[in-house]
Amino acid sequence: MRQLFDRDTWREIFQSISKNKLRTFLTMLGVFIGIYIYIGLAGASQGLNNGFEKEFETIARNSMFVFSSTTSKPYAGYKTGRRIQLKLGDVEVLRQQVPEIMAIAPRNVKGVFGSQPGVVKRGIKSGNYSVFGDYPEFTQIAPKKIYDGGRFINDADIEQERRVCVIGERTQKELFDEDEEVIGGYIAIEDVSFQVVGVHKFAGGGPFDNDSDIFIPFSTYREIYNTADNVSWFTIAAYDDADVVQVEKDIKATLRRIHNVDPTDEKGIGAFNLGELFKKIFGFSNGLTFLSLIVGAASIVAGVIGIGNILLISVKERTKELGVRRALGATPGEVRNQIIIEALVLTLLAGIIGIVCGAATLKLIDVLTVNVELPYTNPTVPISYVLGALFLMVALGILIGLIPAQRAVSIRPIDALREE
């Protein structure tokens, strides 16, 4: 240990390294490339993870959209091509039959699925906007960011069929003046007066959402548009530990039973499973991270082996020098430690430079992609990965250094002094 802090030891190490600069550079290049690839791939996979986390941060991971369509098979006396209509009563049956459901929100809408948008007016200003009939449970699945002073639809709104609404940022800008108080103001939806109770910041909570959406209580929507108990689709979230693929199958099977659809008919009841998509996306990202670990570790090992080979050559070239040191009283342990420290210095120096260059590259990528429409952001490498790489380099540096070190120790002083 004392040798590690000895000035003469370090002077000899740097003299040895500087004797053949090109060889030293090429020796370190293998480790540098290995750690650079490792940092780059690990950072890239983390950037994908972060990007998709940000892209879908406003909706539950184990969520899905369940909708109805026309049947493709005859069943129970019904002909092919029958249009299935989801009902509000389906909610309670699904809760009982599929206990893995955490939250379920029936939804209706004007302005998507080919329907005409709602006509909204305020004074002399007017526009066409998508109008959603929702339950408060919807925010358990896709939380809405409501500006200060406002709120989303609540249970009392549903029970009392209140004429209240939550409008979008763009709707506010188009219907209200800049200095007007929005919360508490009124707009007319289909000539029916609604009080604004909240303004939502657009973040995306479904495939049809935008910054001008208007949300009203489901019960009020039913009254205005005379939809009875009809439901356009269900937004559903399963518990985190549930198998979201199996939950989807159970939900579709239950709805087929309720609406007399052939159990094998995949057309009557459809679903878009975000949870399954999330698993595939993050599975790919995790696979990329694992690949970075394998490729990076293999490259580092190859680089360190190269360092060991070069040190073997260096020991052979320094046979006379090592013999003189042994003749002057250097112990085998001192000679061994000298070579091992040289191996560690070369390995760590190349590795640290690789880490710094890799981090700089990731920062450059982050800057270049900040305004690009890609699910990619903040490509960083967890500190545990960096520490793991450094530990691997230290361990390999010591192990690979033992080979030339043992070769140096095995040199007899008398033989070394005779060598020309």
Note down pLDDT in tens along the chain; length 420 residues.
455 555 655 666 666 666 667 767 777 787 788 888 888 888 877 787 777 777 666 677 789 999 999 999 999 888 999 999 999 999 999 999 999 999 999 999 998 877 788 899 998 999 999 999 999 999 999 888 899 889 999 999 999 999 999 999 999 999 998 888 999 999 999 999 999 999 998 765 555 567 889 999 999 999 999 999 999 999 999 998 899 999 999 999 999 999 999 999 988 999 999 888 888 877 877 787 787 778 777 877 777 777 777 666 666 666 666 666 656 666 666 667 777 777 777 778 888 888 889 888 888 888 887 776 666 777 888 788 788 877 877 787 777 767 766 666 666 655 555 554
Report yes or no on 62 lying in a domain: no
24 and 121 together in one domain: no
Q: Which domain does 385 fall in, by range?
A: 2-56+279-418
Q: Which amino acid is at 403?
A: I
Tell me, yes or no, whether 274 lies in a domain.
no
Quick check: is 272 in a domain?
A: no
* Any domain includes 296: yes
Residues 45 and 145 in one domain: no
Residues 209 and 115 reside in one and the same domain: yes
82 and 159 co-located in one domain: no
Q: Is residue 414 part of a domain?
A: yes
- Domain co-membership, 89 together with 154: no
Query: Are 283 and 381 found together in one domain?
Result: yes
Q: Are residues 91 and 107 in the same domain?
A: no
Q: Both 250 and 302 in a single domain?
A: no
Q: What is the pLDDT of residue 347?
A: 78
pLDDT at position 204 is: 54
Same domain, 294 and 396: yes
pLDDT of residue 363: 86
The answer to whether residue 14 sits within a structural domain is: yes
Instruction: Specify if 127 maps to a domain.
Output: yes
The pTM for the full model equals 0.70
pLDDT at 109: 93
